Chains A and B, each alone.
Chain A
Amino acid sequence: MNMMSTQEIGISNLLASGMTLKQHRDAILERTQTTGYYNGLEKLEFRDSDPIGYEKLFSKLRGGLVHARETAKKIAASPIVEQEGELCFTLYNAAGDCILTSTGIIIHVGTMGAAIKYMIENNWEANPTINPGDMFTTNDCAIGNVHPCDIATIVPIFWAGKLIGWVGGVTHVIDTGAVTPGSMSTGQTQRFGDGYMITCRKTGVNDEPLRDWLHESQRSVRTPKYWILDEKTRIAGCHMIRELVEEVIRADGLEAYEKFSGEVIEEGRRGLMSRIKAMTLPGKYRKVSFVDVPFKHEDIQVSNAFAKLDSIMHSPVEMTIKPDGKWRLDFEGASRWGWHTFNAHQVAFTSGIWVMMSQTLVPTQRINDGAYFATEFHLPKGTWCNPDDRRTGHAYAWHFLVSGWAALWRGLSQSYFSRGYLEEVNAGNANTSNWLQGGGINQDGEIHAVNSFEASSCGTGACAVKDGLNHAAAIWNPEGDMGDIEIWEMAEPLLYLGRNVKSNSGGYGKYRGGCGFETLRMVWNAQDWTMFFMGNGYMNSDWGMMGGYPSATGYRFEAHKTGLKERIAIGDSLPLGGDIDPSAPDYERHLDATAVVKRDKQCMTTEDCYDNHDLYLNYLRGGPGFGDPIDREIKAIESDLNQKFLLPEYAQKVYGAVFTQDAKGVFSIDAAKTQARRLAMRKERLARALPTREWMKEERERIINKHASVQVQHMFATSFALSEKFTQEFKDFWTLPADWQLLEEELGVPTYGSKHRMDLSLMPDVKTVVQVEE
């Protein structure tokens, strides 16, 4: 007989204080709000009374987190985790605030914290209950995850029956069972196509994954072997860290651990303010970035007519550094979310910036939620970085996160430059693409999906004292590694026909941006294979700094019906190496004349079929430049020419270099002639220029006449619709008539979603966690 109880399930006293988790968290927020110190901790008693004990505790925990990451990643088979290190472990206090994190993708300082807070706010302690040995799995982008392929396992930590914290582990899986293969796919336009979505689900008890979860999850993705080994990686890391915490408490006592877990967050808050004061300069910094969303093209195939339009994503930022060392990041004016997968949850933004800041402003081990508490975020509701509709897709949120943050990097770099810390200046970062993704039946005869993480080694921005690094890093992973060819060839049915530095891809400048690289891949031994491109093409998402140019934009090269099978058989010439100058292409000379080649700027495509011996060029972008190019040292230009980092035509046109090339192809620059040429270039610049205010009159006329492409107007229209402030500032700047307006409905493009939207918070029994000013 089924006996039902009238008692609400799971009423517990997890904290042994009589408070629920929500009451506990609310009290911390209240004390933080009232006092200005995290949890009211004006005095750091433990740190100040026993600094050595405090540091020992810090070192034990931090070392243990890093150790757990390094050990656990060996369990994974996915090259994304095992080779690229796309995993991270983070320790939280009972309220879900981050205490410490491991190395790796530090963006998850806050994303797993957001999931814990969601469980707290929605009373998970009553149902489904939180017990020792439980495991929760989440990847829900509507509550804080960056993109669905970041799967997090969260384990509560108890001591003597009391919940004292949480540990979370995240790995970037190869496939999420989205509409198209690959971890960050395009083609879907909504959450419902983003793949398997898990909302803080209890997936394990007594340290064992539940069987229904194991069965359901593995068949929900294309790559079950990688999936399950990733899961084991996360569980092993979490359990190692839980044991570490137990060991620490046994040695140092619960009181010390609990004091530490609060004080270290307050210390992190003060640490950020102190770094800001030590390195930057108070004031207002305004930067902006954009990225293209070219969905009208025939190679973008989506299931919704309303998504077929070209648009531009817009991210203006006003960064205010205050005299007390706090700062405010205000994104007023950002464009609306869209029917694509490039939207981002507010936490992806607020948590994600620390992966970048740890490479510049706070290059310390003490990254935790303290930095969040020292920062004011204004992310207007309805924008791409804080959507107000529960249908939004997020699979490739990075398409614009990387661009939005590049603007912050330029703002900070202005402050470093003005203060004299030239060594810290970075003109920005590459748009970390292309993303080679696809799937089908691989060389082992199995259903498979691929996402090449070569993008973790793009060119870096130029510094104020040196060039950017070639093919070195990604903004989202400070430990960028392009991976070994041999490993990628095991993971993907794609042979390498070339892997070269990408010529001319770094932004010009006195110091140039780092060059990206390119790999030419030939499909081999696959069946029913598909691939697609994902990156920027029509636009740059980064700018240069102080006279430096943006890096080169992207383009795509793919070739079908290549005839390479026959050419290989008869020993004929093959396309090998780099696509050095796409204006004078060489690959085509080694393909059949009937080959079908696509060479264009449509760098966003959806899943398309590739036969064996078809070609795909994976071009990883360069970084932006710094300073006027005609200030560049002669020897540096000569070296770039001789290493094929720079095409001769642009050495002449941009750098003013006058050179000769000997019989062996070695370039030599004539310093005197170059100097003379540069003087002439200064005059030519002024001859073709106008006073800015004169040019503004012409541009104003173009605005009055609405003379601009639809995508440009669409971007402005969505920003105007969300922000009166941005609209008024735009109209004031161009002195437009009071009745001038620009509406989406006048553009002749689909307007689905422009007026009628429903936020997740409107669903019954859902309490969303808001961590920004909206």
Chain B
Amino acid sequence: MSYTNEQVSHLVEGTLDWETTFRMLSMPKDNSRFEQYVAALQAKVRFKDRIVLPLAPHMYIVQSAKTKQWLIKCDCGHEFCDYKENWKLHAAIYVRDTEEAMTEVYPKLMAADTQWQVYREYYCPTCGTLHDVEAPTPWYPVIHDFEPDIEAFYKEWVNLPVPERAD
């Protein structure tokens, strides 16, 4: 089973027809998807750095075109940090830890009680994109939620050459 580059681009845009989407859900996975996916995303971004791994709708691990360092980057061009670090520590944060802040986003009875739970919104410091909302208790450490093993993935799982990396 495989899909055209156009179909994968539509998937990324959220405009793929339901019949194809359903086929993607119900049939065995297409191993070429990763390459097609990265190509579709690469065509969308304005920077020249090579996308190594997509992390979120507007965030990628990229290979810097200048230094070959692997960085976490927003699609506006903002560079957060080295790919091994927790990007949230380099973001702008707004914490909904009062009733007033919480009821801006939900009716009072349908909002979390901030004596129990807070919402931490992590923005790109340059473009203000909301990259993540954490919903922990107060005091909870900022979670480093994903450390991909990119080398094993490229080499052993999708049989692609690992992009060069300068540390």
Contact = CB atoms under 8 A, between A and B. Distances in A.
A685 B143 contact: no
Contact of B146 (A283, A312, A681): A283
Contacts of B77: none
Interface in B86-121: 88-95, 104-113, 115-117, 119, 121
A553 B110 contact: yes
A414 B146 contact: yes
Contacts of B108: 582-583
Interface string B1-43: 0000000100110101000010011001101011011100000
Q: How large is the interface on A (under 10, 10 to 19, 20 to 34, 35 or more residues)?
A: 35 or more
B152 interface: yes
Contact of B137 (A423, A599, A681, A715): A715
A172 B38 CA distance: 46
Contact of B90 (A504, A511, A692, A709): A692
Contacts of B122: 692
A688 B96 CA distance: 11
B66 to A, nearest CB: 24
A504 B128 contact: no
* Interface SS, B side: mixed
Given A422-B11, A423-B21, A691-B125, A504 B148 contact: no
B167 interface: no
B133 interface: yes
A138 B52 CA distance: 52
A284 B145 CA distance: 8
Q: How large is the interface on B (under 10, 10 to 19, 20 to 34, 35 or more residues)?
A: 35 or more
Interface string A674-708: 00000001110110111111011001001100001
B130 interface: yes
A287 B148 CA distance: 14
A555 B110 CA distance: 6
Given A423-B21, A538-B116, A692 B91 contact: yes
Nearest to B41: A420
A628 B57 contact: yes
B112 A538 contact: yes
A419 to B, nearest CB: 6
Contact of A553 (B24, B38, B111, B153): B111
Nearest to A279: B29
A691 B119 contact: no
Given A423-B11, A547-B57, A708 B141 contact: no
Nearest to B23: A423
Given A544-B133, A550-B119, A695-B95, A282 B152 contact: yes
A464 B21 CA distance: 12
Interface in A372-415: 411, 414
Contact of A650 (B36, B106, B145): B106
B57 A546 contact: yes
Contact of A282 (B111, B142, B153): B153
A547 B75 CA distance: 14
Nearest to A679: B128
Interface string B136-161: 11111111111111101100110000
Interface string A253-290: 00000000000000000000000011101111111101
Contacts of A548: 133
B148 A418 contact: yes
A605 B156 CA distance: 52
B137 A552 contact: no
B143 A286 contact: yes
14 contacts: A279-B29, A281-B157, A282-B149, A285-B146, A419-B34, A420-B8, A421-B29, A545-B132, A553-B113, A582-B107, A582-B110, A685-B94, A685-B130, A689-B125
